A = this chain, B = another copy of it.
């Protein structure tokens, strides 16, 4: 986690307690082992990635066969959560966190629509991710 502040950035004291809990239900395997290597946005002609769903949840994949796109939610577990205004890498002026798709946010949940290439034994092979190898999965939803 990087605690450095850039000019114009604004942080806030986080609440003392969480209001709800998340289960990590699998991991996303990608070619990128550091945040610096990750693309700024996933692409449907990007490299093959693997969503490895934990065995407990495998029956929940029933019916995804034949679908082309899914929405994946995943948890950017290395991102700080206290910046209200920030200047991500590549931007010149600071902007509010809710006007950015940066991983730095109160609840660092990322959402991507990815293209399914195959589903086998609890693993969904898909293109379109932008995250580090090992990122925790929190949800899969069908996407029209």
**Residues of A near any B CB (own CB < 8 A):** 10, 12, 14-15, 18-25, 56-57, 59-64, 67, 70-71, 73, 75, 77, 81, 84-85, 95-101, 105-107, 109, 111, 136, 138-142
Number of copies: 2
A60 to B139, Cβ gap below 8 A?
no
Closest residue on chain B to residue A141 by CB atoms = B101
- How far apart are the CA atoms of A106 and B22 in the complex, in Å? 8
By a CB distance below 8 angstroms, the chain B residues around A106 are: 23, 25, 57, 60, 138-139
A23 to B12, Cβ gap below 8 A?
no
For the complex formed, measure the closest distance between the CB of A91 and the CB atoms of chain B, giving whole angstroms.
Answer: 11
B141 to A107, Cβ gap below 8 A?
no
